[in-house]
Structure 1
C-alpha cells in the first residue's frame, strides 16, 4: 500500500511540475504577444500620422500648382500654399498625437477661446 501511495505522490509532484512549466511557457507567450500587439499599434499610429502630414503637404502643393497654372502667378502660389500645407500637416499631426487640443465647437461658433475669454479680453463671469 505504501508503495502505491508513494507512486501516486511522485506522479502528483511530476504533474505539478509539468503544469507549472506549461503555465510559465504560456505566460511568456502571452507577454510576447502583448509586446507584439503594442508594437503593431505603434506602427499603425506612425503610419497614420505620417500619411496625414504627407497628404496635407501634397494637397497644398497641388492647389498651389493649380493656382499658378490658371492664374499665372508664377511660383508664388505654389510656394505659399506649399508652406500652408506644411503648417496644416504639422497641426494635424500635433492634434492627432494629442499635443494640441482642437477647439470646442461651441467656443468656435461663439468666437471665444477655450480659456473662457471672449473677444473683449474679459472673462465670462465679469
Structure 2
C-alpha cells in the first residue's frame, strides 16, 4: 500500500513538473509579446512627436505670415515666405530630433560662432598648437 501511494505521488509530481514547464514556456511567449508591444508603442510615440513638431512649425510659420500680411498689408507674400520658413524649420527640427543633423554646440551658439563657417571652430591658441 505504501509503495502504491509512493508511485501515485511520483506520478503526480511528474505531471506537475510537466504542467509547470509548459506554463513557463507560455509565460516566456507572453513576455516576448509584451516586449514587442512595448517597442511598438515606443516607435508610435516617437512618430507622433516628430509629426507634431513638423506640423507645429508649419502652422506657426503660416500664422506669422498671415499676421504680417494682415497688419503690414504685404499681400500673400508674407504668408508664402513664412510658410516656407516654417516648413524648413519643421524639417530641420525633425531631422535634429531623429539624430540625422547635429544641433549646434551650446558654446558655439553663445559665442556667435557657427560650425559650418571657415575657421569658426578654432581660435588663436588652437592654431598655435597645430590643432
CA RMSD of aligned residues (A): 2.2
* Residues 113 and 121, structure 2, Cα contact 8 Å, conserved in 1: no
TM-score by length of 2: 0.84
Aligned residue runs from structure 1 range 26-105, under 5 A: 26-105=27-106
Structure 2, unpaired ranges of 5+:
none
Q: How far apart are the structure 1 equivalents of 2:105 and 2:123?
A: 19
Change (3 A) 1:119 1:5: same
Residue deviations 1:6-44 (CA, integer Å, cap 9, x gap): 222211110110101111111111111111111111111
Segment drifting more, 55-64 vs 7-16? 7-16
Q: How far apart are the structure 1 equivalents of 2:124 and 2:51?
A: 39
* Residues 95 and 101, structure 1, Cα contact 8 Å, conserved in 2: yes
Partner SS for 1:100: coil
Structure 1, unpaired ranges of 5+:
none
Partner SS for 1:31: helix
TM-score by length of 1: 0.87
Q: How far off is 1:120 after superposition?
A: 8.3
Give the total of aligned pairs. 125
Q: How far apart are the structure 1 equivalents of 2:40 and 2:22?
A: 27
